[in-house]
Amino acid sequence: MIRWIKFFCLILLLDVSGSSQGLFSYENSLQFADYLFESGQFSLASEEYERVVFLNPHDSASIGRLLESYRMQNRSELGLKRAGQLIGDRDDLPVKLFSQIYYLEMENKRFEEAEQLVKLQSNLDDTQKNLAHLGLAISQNKWNDARSYYLNHQMAEESPYYTSLGNIIQEYSSKRKKSPLLAATLSTIIPGAGKAYTGRWADGAIALVFIGSNAWQSYRGFEKDGIKSVRGWVFGAIGFGFWVGNIYGSYQTARQHNQSVMQKYHDKASDIIYYAF
């Protein structure tokens, strides 16, 4: 009886061992990793893709998904590190794998490395190469370079991505920017005018009223008590301080306005660049 019990235990152990090996096989691990990725569980997906890549180091599609998983977790530095460990020769990579390394290089502001990576890819078509070059220019906020490149690389049959990106570049280039120097000059002449010039009318009105009221109180003090007027000096100092601050603030507001507009178009362009490949 004991012999039969041992026999059935051995059969059960072998069956469980076989099932376990099947569960963690390359095919099942890949299927599970894809499920995790598609369901947005990028942290778990990266762990599972690490297993898949370990089982098959030549699976370029899984390497690309692994790098993308790290990128979707905002762990681009780790993604770039793993790319260096997993990929030796970067010539003529599969497009999907190339795109993930390209994105990681740009997110880490390694623009020269990203540009060199593009040059190594002879299997990219003209549209893909042009998109990559425009992406590099826009990521560095070189909008004039991007516009010049786009105008010099028009194609008979442009892709929707390339056309949309070109429209964004053209629209931003035609957008009127605010001059920080002009904003500061206007606030020097009329307090708050520089803020109004940048579209911040309420701030401009407040600055005008506050500085103007202090100047008036200072004037009244000096008119009444002369040069020794404490009231005149106190309100004059307060008004002067806010006047100088308003000049500097107007300069910065114009710069922030331009930065905000540029960031808006940068984000719109990034939405295209990061889905173009």
Residues 126 and 186 in one domain: no
Give the chain's domain count: 2
pLDDT at position 3, please?
45
C-alpha 190/C-alpha 193 separation (Å) is 6
pLDDT band at 234 (very low <50, low <70, confident <90, very high): confident
Residues 167 and 198 in one domain: no
Residues 169 and 261 in one domain: no
pLDDT over 50 (residue 39): yes
Residues 54 and 151 in one domain: yes
Residues 230 and 144 in one domain: no
Residues 258 and 124 in one domain: no
C-alpha 44/C-alpha 53 separation (Å) is 14
pLDDT over 90 (residue 274): no
pLDDT band at 275 (very low <50, low <70, confident <90, very high): confident
Residues 132 and 184 in one domain: no
Residues 136 and 193 in one domain: no
pLDDT over 60 (residue 174): yes
pLDDT in tens, 205-224: 888 888 888 888 887 877 78
C-alpha 261/C-alpha 253 separation (Å) is 12
Residues 190 and 118 in one domain: no
Among 96, 62, 94, 66, which Cα is nearest to 80's? 66
Domain membership flag for residue 86:
yes
Domain membership flag for residue 154:
yes
pLDDT in tens, 84-101: 999 988 999 999 999 999
- Extract long-range pairs of 53-59: CB within 8 Å, 24+ residues apart: 53/86, 55/26, 55/29, 56/26, 57/86, 59/30
Average pLDDT taken over every residue of the chain: 86
Among 184, 255, 246, 174, which Cα is nearest to 212's? 246
How many Å is the Cα radius of gyration of the chain? Answer: 31
Residues 256 and 148 in one domain: no
Residues 154 and 205 in one domain: no
Residues 152 and 207 in one domain: no
Q: Please list, in sequence order, all residues whose beta carbon lies within 8 angstroms of the beta carbon of residue 21, skipping any fewer than 6 positions away.
A: none
- pTM here is 0.76
